[in-house]
Amino acid sequence: MVAKTSVNLSGVYLDNPVIPASGTFGFGKEMAEVYDINILGSISIKGTTRQARYGNPLPRIAEGSCGVLNSVGLQNPGVDAVVSTELPELRKIFRKPIIANISGFSIDDYAYSCEKIDKEKQVEIIEVNISCPNVHNGGMAFGTSPDMAAKVTAAVKKVTTKPVYVKLSPNVTDIVSIARACEDAGADGLTLINTILGMRIDIQRRKPVLAQKMGGYSGPAIFPIAVRMVYQVAQACHIPIMGCGGVATAEDVIEMMMAGATAVQVGAENLHNPYVCKEIIEQLPVVMNRLHIDSLEDIIGIIK
């Protein structure tokens, strides 16, 4: 029997659940020179903001033995350039569903960019990243407050027609309360987890490794944390989840789906091995047959 790898994200059908995570795959064009990206289930494009951003000062990426620390700072050309240039160019080479990742620094920013991206036929799902600082409210991150998470979700839903998935920050004490707040405010789905706040120090130079001192930590070391949070949220909410955080193998994809994810994003591993998504997709049916899994939809959230 041929293993069935297709999944359904809020009415958007993917041939397989493997999605490069935002910020690790650019706008797709770069990786199209490495392999045929049409084997992917979807692509979550580089995080986009209302205005163009250069990002944070260098150095802003540091590789470690078990992951990557980064403080890139949402470098992107701005939503207008993404709409006019990046999305049309990606659509020329990629025929699968596209996920637009939107970030902001105020509720108005989120609403503006999401409303604009919602009009683009190339985009099937909008992913709202709520781990950016809210500079209009004392710098508090949207993703650490259930109330603020609900407000940004509701504001985006008012101006969009496409499925909205809210990407949650793991840097909280209770991710379930924030996930529920987003669901109650109308989110169609959730993405978790984003990077974990970390820091490294260069003991020779006696200075932080990153210019911003702290950054987001991702890679295999955070996989068990991601699985735990996906499981907790899946038990508490009734909307689909895109799971991410340290995914590097086909076995990781299946484990994340058993915890409750409908689709799985691959992040930091793309930076270490540009072929990883291709390898996972090729290995997925092999692993499924070995584990006697006929369809991936049969294993979503089987751990109770």
Within 10 A of 90 (CB to CB), how many other CB atoms are there? 20
φ and ψ at residue 162, rounded to 5 degrees: -95, 160
Give the C-alpha separation, 56 to 72, whole Å. 6
Distance CA 143, CA 183 (A): 14
What's the one-letter identity of residue 262?
A: T
CA 50 and chain centroid, separation: 19
Active site residue 182: no
Distance CA 87, CA 32 (A): 14
- What's the distance, Cα to Cα, between the start and end of the chain in Å? 28
What sign does the CA torsion over 34, 38, 302, 231 have? Answer: positive
Both structure tokens of 275: 């072929």
From the candidates 132, 182, 237, 277, give the one annotated as an active-site residue.
132
Which residues are part of the catalytic machinery? Answer: 132
